[in-house]
Amino acid sequence: MTVTQQQRTGAQRVAAGRVREQRAVFDRDLAAVLSEAQSLRATYQGPAATAFFALVGQWLDDAGAIVRDLEGFAERMDRQEVDVAAQQEASASGFTRAGHRLATRF
């Protein structure tokens, strides 16, 4: 694998790591929002509170789905890196064999 190919595939791994780091940040932020909402439950009562907490619950569910999607995205980036590296190795090997065959014919 050439240096450029290694840099490209290494970049995928780095990007996946950054996505995972951000996922952890989002997880912490969501936990803080949930904690804050739960602390309001005792004092915030009535129909408006019911509607508010329903919206907060839906928002947290949606945000959780986004965070889970980030992990799936990072996993796909990792898999793609492995697949691309294998394809590049196979292509390089094929070109080398073809080059040797051509060289022996001339």
Closest CA to 53 of 41, 66, 35: 41
Given a cut of 60, whether residue 76 has pLDDT beyond it is yes
Given a cut of 90, whether residue 101 has pLDDT beyond it is no
Burial class, 97, CB count within 10 angstroms (exposed 0-12 / middle 13-18 / buried 19+): exposed
Q: DSSP character for 46? A: S
Q: DSSP H helical segments within 1-106, as ranges?
A: 3-41, 47-105
pLDDT band at 69 (very low <50, low <70, confident <90, very high): very high
Q: Encoding tokens for residue 21?
A: 């780091």
| Homologous superfamily of the 5-104 domain (CATH) | ESAT-6-like (1.10.287.1060)
Predicted TM-score of the model (pTM): 0.60
Amino acid at 80: Q
Q: What percent of the chain has pLDDT over 70?
A: 77
